[in-house]
């Protein structure tokens, strides 16, 4: 596979979970991938995996909620003034709870790591994306926002904002030859399990109730879809959401009302 040969790519949250799968796949397709992650151990581990597989990658430790960190990451990923692929996968996930119990911290972290980080990466990378002459931006959205899943207020609001930002950027940046799309995945990863803790059993039951009865495999089902959007194979695709969720958003009903702590202050 060499659809992205001699292309430069930046993946936020690229050291773990879905981001790691995407980083590896883009490298397998020939791109030099700059992995941006707050977890240095995971980020450097992913670089090692990629280089062991014969790919090319570098790592930048960054907090995507900090503009200076974002600027440094974009500068590191830019090659000869160009950045060909930008994937915004990082996002804080607040535990499910009723809206009346959502805290300022829940909201602020969701906003800072989601739409604000996505906007900042896109804005600061814009000159390098323009210089590419055919760049692709792939943002991560969620069925939680698009289907209005209850008890996911901060996360859904953040992903809804990313969805809107994707469409606005696609319209504004088409004149530069920049395509901006979003992917809506549903997968089960170790990162999610560690993040939500006791909520994991409920999450897996949700997956079992989906049309396919499972979540996607990050490496074989999510990452290839991102690579498609990143490559020239999707050269006339922009401003759209690619659902890689096994029908979860359109065909399933998710109910977090029985989750532990949802109605506890």
8-251 belongs to which homologous superfamily? NAD(P)-binding Rossmann-like Domain (3.40.50.720)
The mean predicted confidence, pLDDT, of the chain is 91
End-to-end, the C-alpha distance of the chain in Å comes to 51
* CA-wise closest residue to 103 among 158, 154, 63: 154
d(CA 110, CA 62): 17
Please tell me the predicted confidence (pLDDT) of residue 192: 58
Please tell me the predicted confidence (pLDDT) of residue 207: 72
Q: Kindly tell me if the per-residue pLDDT of 258 is higher than 80.
A: no
Q: Which residues are catalytic?
A: 155
Of the listed ranges 24-28, 158-162, 199-203, 209-213, the least confidently predicted one is 199-203
Please tell me the predicted confidence (pLDDT) of residue 50: 98
List, for residues 90-128, the tens digit of each pLDDT value. Answer: 998 878 889 999 999 999 999 999 999 999 999 999 999
Q: What number is the average pLDDT over the span 149-167?
A: 94
Name which residue leads in pLDDT, 12 or 198: 12
Beta bridge partners of 179: 136
| Alpha helix positions (H), the chain | 17-28, 40-52, 67-77, 104-113, 115-132, 143-146, 153-173, 190-196, 200-208, 223-230, 248-251
Q: Are 117 and 70 in contact (CB under 8 A)?
A: yes
Name which residue leads in pLDDT, 199 or 85: 85
Please tell me the predicted confidence (pLDDT) of residue 196: 55
Q: Are 104 and 110 in contact (CB under 8 A)?
A: no
Of the listed ranges 48-62, 131-145, 202-216, 247-261, the least confidently predicted one is 247-261
Block residue for tokens 């792939």: 138
* Non-local CB neighbours of 173 within 8 Å, separated by 6+ positions: 126, 129, 180
Q: What number is the average pLDDT over the span 59-74?
A: 98
Of the listed ranges 36-40, 113-117, 187-191, 225-229, the least confidently predicted one is 187-191
Block residue for tokens 């900042």: 120
Q: Domains of the chain: which residue ranges?
A: 8-251
pLDDT confidence tier of residue 250, bands split at 50, 70 and 90: confident
* CA-wise closest residue to 54 among 28, 75, 31: 28
List, for residues 164-217, the tens digit of each pLDDT value. Answer: 999 999 999 999 999 999 999 988 776 655 655 555 566 666 677 678 888 889
Beta-carbon count within 10 A of 239 CB: 16
d(CA 158, CA 213): 27
Name which residue leads in pLDDT, 144 or 90: 90
d(CA 170, CA 137): 9
Q: Kindly tell me if the per-residue pLDDT of 148 is higher than 70.
A: yes
Q: How many helices (H) and strands (E) does the chain have?
A: 11, 7
* CA-wise closest residue to 89 among 183, 26, 170: 183
CA distances from 1 to 19, 31, 87, 181, 238 (A): 19, 10, 19, 22, 23
């Amino acid at each position: 596979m060499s659809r992205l040969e001699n292309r430069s790519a930046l993946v936020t949250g690229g050291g773990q979970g879905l981001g790691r799968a995407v980083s590896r796949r883009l490298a397998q397709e020939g791109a030099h991938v700059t992995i941006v992650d707050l977890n240095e151990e995971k980020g450097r581990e992913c670089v090692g995996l990629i280089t062991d597989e014969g790919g090319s990658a570098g790592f930048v430790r960054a907090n995507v909620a900090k503009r200076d960190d974002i600027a440094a990451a974009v500068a590191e990923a830019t090659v000869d003034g160009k950045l060909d692929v930008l994937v915004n996968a990082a996002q804080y996930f607040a535990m499910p709870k009723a809206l009346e119990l959502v805290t300022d911290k829940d909201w602020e972290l969701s906003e800072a790591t989601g739409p604000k980080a996505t906007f900042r990466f896109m804005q600061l990378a814009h000159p390098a994306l323009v210089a590419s002459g055919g760049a692709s931006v792939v943002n991560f959205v969620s069925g939680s926002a698009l289907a209005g899943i209850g008890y996911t207020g901060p996360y859904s609001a953040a992903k809804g904002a990313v969805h809107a930002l994707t469409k606005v950027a696609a319209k504004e940046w088409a004149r530069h030859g920049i395509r901006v799309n979003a992917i809506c995945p549903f997968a089960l990863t170790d990162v999610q399990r560690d993040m939500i803790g006791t909520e994991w059993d409920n999450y897996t039951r949700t997956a079992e109730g989906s049309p396919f009865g499972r979540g996607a495999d990050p490496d074989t089902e999510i990452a290839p879809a991102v690579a498609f959007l990143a490559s020239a194979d999707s050269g006339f695709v922009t401003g759209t959401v690619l659902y890689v969720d096994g029908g979860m958003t359109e065909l399933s009903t998710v109910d977090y009302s029985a989750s532990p702590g949802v109605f506890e202050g």
